[in-house]
Structure 1
Amino acid sequence: MRFPSAIVALLTACAMSVVTALVPGSATAAAAFGPLAPPNPFMAPQGLASMHNDAGSADAGPLPGPGANFVPIFAYPLLAACPSITQGTDGLVVALCTTIVDQSPTVHLIDPGGFLPRVVPLASLPVAKGGLLGGVYAYLDDNNELVMIDGTNHLLHIAHAQDAKGHWQLIITDSTDVSSAIPPGDQSVGVVPDYLGNVWFASGSGVVGVVKAGGAVASVQLPAGERVANSISAAPTNRVAVATTFALYEINLDGGGNPQILWRQPYDRGPGRKPGQLSWGTGSTPTYFGPTTGADYLTIVDNADPIVHALVYESGTGNLVCQQPVLTKGGPGSENSPIGVGNTMFIASTYGYPYPAVPPDAGPAVPPTAPFLGGMTRVDVDNPGCHTVWDSNVRSAALPHLSTGDGLIYTITRFGFDNTTPADIFSFAVLDPNNGQVILQQPKSASILSDPIQTACMVLMGNRIMQGNITGIGRIG
């Protein structure tokens, strides 16, 4: 059992004021982890282009954050949960949010502002409701246009511009019908460009498709019964990774320009959907990472019971590099994509997290509920094999982000009893990736309305973080 929230908050504030005096802002800068994958030329700048930062879903980026310092925190109330936050070369933020009332997607254009930000969006654009909780995955391209597939199965490019009076607008500049590849009643889940500019997508029923230059659409159907519940990733080799509720795949285009399966690796999907996960199977968007190209390996976390594992495969061959038990000090399950860079992975637990809703086809959780214990593990790849560097019980309430610019992990932590309540406190947290120690926790809210519900902690330009939550976005720094 953890201390009551009020006591924890008081202890945290006192302890962290001492820690901050001892630890400078760039303090604990970690040794270089290894290369990130080369930037995808068809996406916004590295680290800013999607929920998982880049085409390979590294959940890491080169921009430094605010460091281990107390910083101002502001709220953008949008009456929507905001899982996908991106930033273009013009510095404006484009966020894909899901409204609280009917779980329909809305694109917001936001000025992250100066010391006192403008908290009202510059422009907003509702789009047709899609699959996963209304539609959560999108990316920003090299023209600062948001790319997504809406509920009518059209691939949209959404630009932002000012009209003659200086008012900002969000404008659909291109719409490609991909319904020829997606069966009736099915909808897109994830979307990513490869390094040639082809736009790949995956649907809930296991269709993997591609929109090629000129608008031609081609697809391949994965085995019946396998569903896709997370986004997809792309490597500089023009391979695409897709995790279903049964197996991990790597896919590319054959000589005729049609998607083909390079390899399939099944994993232990466990006895059922675990509490704190949104599907029965891995909760991972596959992560490309590696010490040579930045995309040598591919990893997910399985759904085994009672202990889950980080599974690492060679990109291109599918050979298993290692299978390492993780989250042994916390809850045995994760809905989050692993952080991956160089030879290193970081996995955060979501087991027992109280999501306000799950997809209608998610099925019952086994067990129905569980305490949210948290937990995070660092695993380093030795090839052959891998080993655990540290295993902690930090209660990360957000998808963590590793900044290779300052060598720190950023997230939001949750304080309260193991069985979560609306009285829990959320704090901005900074971790040392070398040992897993929390070096700063700044209480930011005692309201359940700021619950980040495991959405991504996005490090933006100007040493700032924008964090989605259940009712909008928070700016940290």
Structure 2
Amino acid sequence: MRSPLILLAACALALAPAGAADAVGQWGPLASPNPYLGPLGTATMHGDAGSSDATPLAGPGPGDVSVGAYPLAAACPTLLQGSDGLVVALCTAIAGQAPTVQLLDPAGGGPLGGSLAALTLVKGSLLGGVYAYLDNADRLVVVDGDRTLLRVAHARDAAGGWRLAVESSTDLASAIPVGDNVTGLVPDWSGNVWFATGNGLVGLVPPAGRAAVVALPAGEQVANSISAAPSGRVAVATTHALYELRAESGRPEVLWRAAYERGRARKPGQLSWGTGSTPTYFGPDTGADYLTIVDNADGRVNALVFRSGSGQLVCSQPVLTKGGAGSENSPIGIGRSLFVASTYGYPYPAVPDGAGQAVPATAPFIGGMTRVDVDDTGCHTVWENTVRSAAVPHLSTVDNAIYTVTRLGFDTTTPLDGYAFTVIDPDTGAVTSSRPLPGTIINDPLQTSPLVTHGRQIMQGTVTGVLRIN
């Protein structure tokens, strides 16, 4: 990540298979790289600052795959790859549920149960141990349970091994009250580190200066990560509304607010009462013309598309009409297309404190995915399927393929259900290949996001560690 990001993006495309340029052109642009993030496609959970869940990197493709495992005794929702090729994982330990940074070699295991080095952080909320990013110096940027913004670096130690250490820290205690925790953070294109807390504070930390916050309306919580666009705008979705903000004189300023249908209660297969989406920037001109989330309406849910900057509603399009009506996942967004995957009924082992009871308490996990395209007159559904995605799907523009892990078995889930590495044609929604993965409950991906590496691999977090698929 010490190399210019534009060169990294160019190298990724130069090494892509024949036809890659056509695939990128077909889908439209990704937003310009954020100079304060690591390599394009691998520096955030959702690939980039705009949470597109689309990548210019190639994956394993639809053929046979081999699978390796990193048994870490931890659930690992955040997997990021730096310029040196090593993978930095933010995991939650099974014992004690403390957030732990793990350093992994995507070419193989390590001496510590698959890890090259580990560093335990101060525990916060359940969602406070999920979201982080890699900056342009290969450092993990995360806020711990003590409300401290950390930059965690990795380096060789005197014995030739690896170590993880906090290289710098910023105390946010004056901006975040006791009992509140950061749930999402992202840098903007000016170097401000933006964050949102579970109790509805949105703040920024300037490169040189003190943190400043704005409080969103009482009762609104933030249960997902946040996103940024090259325009300097930042998107935050609460359990009631979608917001777009910008920095004004070193402080966050709300540009607009759009309420959405949040339904009568939390649905089974979601972690909060409201949208399950991290807001996604996408669009045909700048790669960040539009902003989308999925609502939590009763009966059926809708993909909502807004114009970035004005907040104008472009469309509200019903999605997942063949599957379960609810999604905890960030939509894929690129060019004029967005893709939504259902998580309705997914059996999470735990939900955050204060999430409330699900109504109904449980439901079958039917699955389902929908592609919606946007044009000047609104939106229309291109296809729907009944794929039972158990992870956050990612679109490779190089491969023209959607990668995910699907859950096997019947709609009524059991701990004996298996999983499969699955490739989907984004043009038609058809499954092009599905390869069974080893294990059952120990390899549950828990609807977490895979990492498409610079080496054509998929690194997928599970409830007990990480799988490597190549």
Give the structure-2-normalised TM-score: 0.94
Of 375-384 and 333-342, more deviation after overlay is shown by 375-384
> 1: distance between equivalents of 2:376 and 2:263?
26
Q: Is residue 27 of structure 2 the alignment partner of residue 33 of structure 1?
A: yes
Aligned length: 452
Give the Å deviation of 1:164: 2.1
Q: Secondary structure at the match of 2:180?
A: coil
1:77 equivalent in alignment to 2:71: yes
Q: Distance in 2 between matches of 1:404 and 1:40?
A: 19
Q: CA distance change for structure 1 residues 45 and 352 in 2, over 3 Å: closer, same or farther? A: same
Tell me what 1:172 maps to. Answer: 166
Q: Which amino acid aligns with 2:165?
A: I
Offset at residue 26 of structure 1 (A): 8.6
Three-state SS of the structure 1 residue aligned to 2:442 is: helix
Q: 1:50 aligns with which of 40, 44, 68?
A: 44
CA distance in 2, matches of 1:221, 1:299: 22
Aligned equivalent of 2:442: 449
Aligned match of 2:251:
258
Q: What amino acid is the match of 1:202?
A: A
1:369 aligned onto 2:365: no
Which residue of structure 2 lines up, in the alignment, with residue 4 of structure 1?
none
Distance 1:29 1:319, change over 3 A: closer
Question: What is the aligned partner in structure 1 of residue 222 from structure 2?
Answer: 228
Amino acid in structure 2 at the alignment position of 1:409: I
2:270 to 277, 286, 308: 277
CA shift digits 1:181-200 (9 cap, x unpaired): 11221111001000111000
Unaligned 5+ runs, structure 1: 1-23
Partner of 2:338: 345
1:208–1:134 Cα change, 3 Å: closer
CA contact (8 A) 1:57 1:337 kept: yes
CA distance in 1, matches of 2:209, 2:146: 17
Partner of residue 98, structure 1: 92
With over 3 angstroms needed to count, the CA separation of the structure-2 counterparts of 1:117 and 1:29, relative to structure 1, is: farther
Deviation at 1:128, TM superposition (A): 0.5
Does the CA contact (< 8 Å) of 1:25 and 1:67 recur in 2? Answer: no
Closer, same or farther: CA 103–133 of 1 in aligned 2, 3 Å? farther
> 1:130 Cα shift?
1.8
Residue 280 of structure 2 is aligned to residue 287 of structure 1: yes
Once residues 447 and 348 of structure 1 are traced to their aligned partners in structure 2, the CA distance between those partners, rounded to angstroms, is 22
Q: 1:12-23 to 2 correspondence within 5 Å? A: none
The counterpart of 2:299, out of the listed 294, 300, 306, is 306
Q: 1:42 to 1:134 in 2, by over 3 A?
A: closer
CA shift for structure 1 position 165: 1.8
Aligned to 1:406: 399
In structure 2, which of residues 309, 320, 324 is the aligned counterpart of residue 331 of structure 1?
A: 324
Within 5 Å, which residues of 2 pair with 1:426-465?
Answer: 426-465=419-458
1:163 to 157, 165, 185: 157
- Please name the residue that 2:107 is paired with: 113
Aligned residues of 1:103 and 1:133 also touching (Cα < 8 A): no
User: How big is the shift at 1:102?
Assistant: 2.0
Which secondary structure state, in structure 2, belongs to the residue aligned with residue 312 of structure 1? strand
Aligned to 2:7: none
Structure 1: distance between partners of 2:24 and 2:381: 17
* Distance in 2, Cα, partners of 1:346 & 1:228: 22
Structure 2: 5+ residue stretches without partners? 1-16
Report if the CA contact (8 A) 1:29-1:408 is conserved.
no
Partner of 1:16: none
Instruction: In structure 1, give the amino acid aligned to 2:166.
Output: I
Q: Secondary structure at the match of 2:435?
A: strand
Deviation at 1:134, TM superposition (A): 5.2
- C-alpha separation between the residues in 2 aligned to 1:364 and 1:439? 38
Indicate the residue corresponding to 1:127 in structure 2.
Answer: 121
Q: Which amino acid in the other structure matches residue 233 of structure 2? A: R
Contact 1:396 1:413 in 2 (8 A): yes
CA deviation after TM superposition for structure 1 residue 258, in Å: 1.2
CA offset digits 1:211-247 (Å, max 9, x no partner): 0011411110000010000000000011100000000
Partner of 1:18: none
Number of the residue aligned with 1:9? none
Structure 1 residue identity aligned to 2:76? C
* Cα deviation, residue 148, structure 1: 0.4
Task: Verify the 8 A CA contact 2:394 2:402 in the aligned structure 1.
Answer: yes
Give the conservation status (yes or no) of the 8 Å contact 1:137–1:231.
yes
For residues 246 and 18 of structure 2, what CA distance do their matches in structure 1 show? 43
- TM-score, normalization by structure 1: 0.92
- Give CA-to-partner distance per residue, 1:168-192, whole Å, 9 cap, x none: 1101011101111112211110010
Q: Contact 2:24 / 2:398 at 8 angstroms: preserved in 1?
A: no
Q: Is the 8 A contact 1:354 1:420 kept in 2?
A: yes
Q: CA deviation at 1:384?
A: 2.6
Deviation for aligned residue 1:383: 2.6
Letter paired with 1:414: R
Q: Is the 8 A contact 1:34 1:291 kept in 2?
A: yes
Q: Provide the residue aligned with 2:12 in structure 1.
A: none
Deviations 1:14-58 (A, max 9, x none): xxxxxxxxxx99999687200001111100111101111110000
Alignment deviations for residues 260-297 of structure 1 (CA, whole Å, 9 cap, x no partner) = 10000000000100000000000000000000000000
Q: Secondary structure at the match of 2:183?
A: strand
